[in-house]
Amino acid sequence: MKEISELNLPADLRYADDHEWARLEDDKVRVGLDDYAQDQLGDIVFVELPQEGDTFKKGEVFATVESVKAVSECYMPVGGEIVSVNNDLEESPELVNNSPYGDGWFVVINPGNPSEMDTLMTSEAFLEKLKGTE
Amino acid sequence: MRFLPHTGEDIKSMLQVVGADNIDDLFSTIPDDCLSKDDLALPEALTEWELDSHMSALSDTMAVSPDYKVFMGAGSYEHYIPASVSFLLGRSEFVTSYTPYQPEISQGTLQAIYEYQTLTARLLGMEVATASHYDGATALAESLLMAVRISKKRKVAVSRLIHPLYRQVVRTYFEPTGYQVIELPYLKNGLTDLAGLDELNDLAAVAVQSPNFFGCIENLKEAGKKIHNKDALFITCFTEALSYGLLKNPGSQDADIVCGEGQSLGIPRSFGGPALGMLAGRKKYMRSLPGRLVGKTKDLDGKRGFVLTLATREQHIRREKATSNICTNNSLCALAAAIYMASVGGTGIKKLAGLNHDKAEYLKQELKKAGSKIIFESPTFNEFVVEFPEGFDSVYDRLLEKKIVAGLPLTEYYPELTGHYLLCVTETMSKNDMDILVREVKL
Amino acid sequence: MKETVGTTGLILNEPLLWEKGKKGRCGYSLPRRDVDFFSLDQELRGEGPDFPDLSEVDVVRHYTRLSQWNFGVDTGMYPLGSCTMKYSPKTNEKQAGLSGLAGAHPLLPQDLSQGTLRMMYELERYLAEITGMDAVTLQPAAGAHGELTGMLIIHAYHKNRGAQRSRILIPDTAHGTNPATATLCGYSSVQVKSNENGILSAESVADLMDEDTAGIMLTNPNTLGLFEENIREIAEIVHSKGGIVYCDGANLNAVMGIVKMGKIGVDVMHLNLHKTFSTPHGGGGPGSGPVCVKKHFEQFLPVPRIVEDKGNYAFSDNYPESIGKVQAFHGNIGVIIKAYSYIISMGPKDLKMASRLAVLNANYIKESLKDTLHLAYDRPCMHECVFSDEKQRDDHVTTFDMAKRLMDYGFHPPTVYFPLVVHGAIMVEPTETESKEDIDKYIEAFKAIADEAKENPDLLHNAPGKSKVRRLDEVSAARKPCLAG
């Protein structure tokens, strides 16, 4: 497993406590699982995603990620409607491991309240938090 | 005692390592008020030879073939079991191993279960089958719960011609869930009446058994259409797995989930258990299946091997969110079924199933000729319902004295069918056995 | 490595069933056709399943080879914690195979099935005596099934009192089946943390127990192999709020004839006949999970119950408050016969001795290995002890690696990564049927492996090397499942 110093936490993203990342793209928010979580889970074998059109509040479970011997739930970093899901993950869940911030994205959200982005951590703040839990 | 290897000397030297004066000291963490002061009030130990005679005496009281001719099926069938099946099943590497959590030293069990899953899927015409469940009744209950999970609807309907004891198990499983179980009546021809479906909405699934409890073969294709029109999952159930050697399999009739009892496939009746719950489904429902699954993979050298897979559905990982609390399968029973299916083979099972059908048909026709009424006109497999004339009770009892069990009286299960009996004939009944029954019934 | 039990021998390859055979073969003696052919509607007739056609010899070689790729208790020591892999006496197999017992139809008239009924009735009495409970059902098919039955009884009890409850307390050391079972009965699980000694404290139960909580589901001895010393106090707390104490009897093998759960506050418990009472595990079943209850829960037990009247045995359905049925028929009788045979072969003295020796064996392993492996809780254990890989972390060797390496030494690994409260857990349960010599060899093997971890960790990372297959790719198996050929 990676040392904290080896983690890739891009500065243009925001991070939630439960290891979801969020990127503001115009008025939409793209969401995925961060490097730390994919590394801890190990080889991801299955991702269960919501359907386009589903809406969730911030903090609600919208997806589950499975490795061989663990299941992990993903929580909405911001509330809103799911406008796009990454169907490639169905056939190739390994994308989450290989490219957590690129091809391994989960969903795009149309946020109900864009200011919820401000409740998420910056990469520096998130890194500090991770160091604290070590 | 021959199962306890410790000598006094062993105990002494082990206690020394542990640093205790005597074995009692090892129980010092148990508070005194929790310790039992009296000896267990159990019978004194028997020697192996005393056990033999005690158990033989118990066994001798039981009415079994060849002494008795038991024309009774109803979810538990007498079929010949080849000696090779019993011998292979007794291999202690199979018998005394645990669940194959360490695949490198459990490939025997794993490949055998993978083969069982494959043969089951082929028998039932489905894409995936589980590694087995406790029995047909629990497989049905689990299938219905699975349908509720998939559809997120809260109501299921089951035919009244599903085995009455299976329906009792379903009721028990569903009682604390708040989901509703509706029973569908039957028609005069011995088939399920699906007309009532029109009135029902929000159904997760409808379950139909074929051959049903009366032995009648349901029109699954038609049933499937009606059920799918209601946007419900179509579950088919069975108690006589051998019938699919002859009949169209449920997969070809558009079933979504198929479940039932595999005891017919090389497993002795043993007073009802252990049995073999078989459960299969469409591939798209794979991740909603309850219970264990074995999958094919490769080892580090690229050699073919097998592992337990999709374990994240199960209780030891998902805990309170698991698809079921099931922890075992009936592995050894699944193995028995696999060895049996392999022994009988594709060519053999057609002939054997045909023979079962024809023998039962012979008895049916002969009873008809003798004046007994066959009240349901639909085609049957190896069981059928007979209405005997009034006062047959005493004939039934007289036959018991002659070591013939003339079927299962149906009153207890269907009060409207007083005087009706469910009779079963398999390949183990000879024409002569049946002729004797017909003669006795006529007397 | 000096000479060990583990070796390679000649292991034969064997294809899948359908990769062998020839159309037209048959490994089955078709019974004589003494009746005519009868027609069946073409609409109903199918094509028959696509099974391979094999001769009897094909089938026998196939399964004999497969069996040789398996490791069982009869092969060697199998110290799987929480599973009680004790020796399964062969005479039990013989008794279960007696034609009258194995061949009987479950719905036979009761006058014609007295032997089995008597056996079931007596076994119920024996299990009641061993557990200190009042009434028993043999119907559940496995431990988890017994748990479900027990939980349904608890559900029925609260419903019957007119006040259903919504939560149940479950310790953090529990088996995964416990919360899964609670969910099936509509209860949400509330986790109770075990204390620094690895057991439950009465205070933590008192803090969580209330009148919306159905009860507590505990395992005693618990999955750390420790006796729940505060059980009486915990039971009082739970009872005072109208709750029920459920005990998972998975670990009864530690206390037969020593502690009677029914006398220390337990209301409902299930047993695993395939653990404590020696019936073989069969590669994952069939098992048997009887449920034992105190008097005031008897009316909820599954039907039919067996009743006795002057030496005559009969089934009775006359229990209107019963939860109903959990299996179509009466339970896994073929398994129950073996447990019955075991109990009457052992008798009261040797059953108690079995528990005493199981505990001695476990403590002996604990003391012998505690310098080699980190011991999670250094106090007297019951029938099993829990280590971890903490001492091997600097060698970059995990519990998983050590478990795999044990196979090369000719042993089945212990239970690993359970209970969850111990990181990298290694849970060893030798059982009473292992001799001191075999246990010594096991201890030696573990010590040798710990040395290898320091000197040549790759030996462990690549283990096992002597088995039929090497480590398997579980990731691909789960990503692209292939469940049938």
Residue A25: its pLDDT value, please?
Answer: 93
Quick one: pLDDT at residue A76? 95
Using DSSP bridges, classify how beta strands A71-75 and A61-67 pair: parallel, antiparallel or unpaired.
antiparallel
Does residue B433 have a pLDDT over 90?
yes
| Residue span of the structural domain in which A103 resides | 11-117
Counted residue by residue, chain C has a size of: 485
Instruction: Kindly list the residues from chain A whose CB atom is less than 8 angstroms away from the CB atom of residue C479.
Output: 45-46, 93-94
User: Which of B:258-317 have CB within 8 Å of A?
Assistant: 287, 311-312, 317
In the block, which residue shows the tokens 């961060």? Answer: A34
Show residues of chain B in contact with C132, CB under 8 Å.
Answer: 36
- By C-alpha distance, the chain C residue nearest B76 is C105
**Please, where are the H alpha helices in B30-106?**
48-60, 83-89, 92-95
Is residue A56 in some structural domain?
Answer: yes
Residue pLDDT, tens place only, B13-29:
999 999 999 999 999 99
ipTM over 0.90: yes
Q: Using one digit for the tens of pLDDT, what is the confidence trace for C63-103?
A: 999 999 999 999 999 999 999 999 999 999 999 999 999 99
**Does some domain include residue A100?**
yes
Confidence of residue C202 (pLDDT cuts 50, 70, 90): very high
CATH number of the domain bearing residue A15: 2.40.50.100
| Measured distance CA(B251)–CA(B254) in Å, rounded | 5
Give yes or no for residue C138 having a pLDDT over 90: yes
Give the C-alpha separation, C329 to C331, whole Å. Answer: 6
The Cα–Cα gap between A97 and A123 comes to 19
CATH 3.50.50.60 applies to domain C92-345:
no
Helices (runs of H) and strands (runs of E) counted in chain B = 12, 14
Residues from chain B contacting residue A68 (CB–CB below 8 Å): 311-312
Q: Which of A98-107, B263-272, B294-303, B434-443 has the lowest mean pLDDT?
A: B434-443
Chain C residues within an 8 Å CB radius of A1: none
Predicted confidence (pLDDT) per residue in B382-416, tens digit: 999 999 988 889 999 999 999 999 999 999 999 99
Distance CA C313, CA C365 (A): 46
Tell me how close the Cα of C73 comes to any Cα of chain B, in angstroms.
5
Of A126-130, B103-107, B169-173, C445-449, the poorest mean pLDDT is in A126-130
Note if the bond before C419 is cis, omega within 30 degrees. Answer: yes
Q: What is the CATH T-level fold of the domain B69-81+346-442, as seen in this structure?
A: Aspartate Aminotransferase, domain 1 (3.90.1150)
Chain A nearest CA to C176, separation (Å): 13
- A69 inside 8 A of chain B by CB: yes
Question: How far is residue B200's CA from residue B183's CA, in Å, rounded to a whole number?
Answer: 11
Tell me the helix, strand and coil percentages in chain B, rounded to 5: 45, 15, 40
Q: What is the pLDDT of residue A134?
A: 54
CA B409 → CA C108, C354, C401, distances in Å? Answer: 11, 47, 60
Q: Summarize pLDDT for C409-446 with one digit per residue, the tens.
A: 999 999 999 888 899 999 999 999 999 999 999 999 99
Contact status of C482 with chain B (Cβ, < 8 Å) = yes
B241 band by pLDDT with thresholds 50, 70 and 90: very high
pLDDT at C2: 67
Residue of B287, B317, B321 lying closest to A69 (CB–CB): B317
**pLDDT by residue (tens digit) across A42-63?**
999 999 999 999 999 999 999 9
Q: Return all residues near B12 (Cβ < 8 A) that are at least 6 apart.
A: none
Q: State the number of CA atoms in the 13 A half-sphere of C73 facing the CB.
A: 29
Q: Interface partners of B (3+ CB pairs, < 8 Å)? A: A, C
**Total number of residues shown for chain B:** 443
The CATH classification number of B83-340 equals 3.40.640.10
Interface of C with A in 46-85 (CB under 8 A): none
Residues of A in contact with C474 (CB under 8 A): 68
Portion of chain B with pLDDT greater than 90, in percent:
93
Q: Does B318 touch chain A (CB under 8 A)?
A: yes
Neighbouring chains of C at 3+ CB pairs under 8 Å are A, B
Which residues from chain A sit within 8 angstroms of residue B318, using beta carbons?
71
Length of chain A: 134
Mean pLDDT, chain C, integer: 96
Are the C-beta atoms of residues B132 and B334 closer than 8 Å to each other?
A: yes
C479–A46 CB contact, under 8 Å:
yes
Phi-psi region of B156 (alpha: psi -120 to 50; beta: other; left: phi over 0): beta
Among B59, B317, B354, the residue with its CB nearest the CB of C99 is B59
Three-state DSSP class for B421? strand
Sign of the four-CA dihedral C434, C436, C437, C438: positive
Q: Is residue A131 part of a domain?
A: no
CA distance, residue B12 to nearest chain C CA (Å): 11
Contacts of B287 in chain A (CB under 8 A): 46
C479/A contact by beta carbon, under 8 A: yes
* CB contacts < 8 A (A, C): 12
To probe the interface with A, which of C475, C476, C482 has the most A CB atoms within 10 Å?
A: C475
Higher pLDDT, C438 or A69: C438
Domain borders along chain B are: 69-81+346-442, 83-340
- Residue (of C127, C117, C108) closest to C311 by Cα position: C117
The CA distance from B253 to the nearest CA of chain A, in Å, is: 29
Give the 3-state secondary structure percentages of chain A, helix then strand then coil, rounded to 5: 25, 35, 40
B340, B341, B342, B344 alpha-carbon torsion, rounded to 10°? 80
> Interior CA angle at C179 toward C174 and C184, to 5°?
150
Q: Is the pLDDT of residue A78 over 90?
A: yes
Closest Cβ–Cβ partner in C180, C354, C474 for B309: C474
Place of tokens 């009532």: B196
| CA nearest neighbour of C325 among B271, B277, B172 | B172
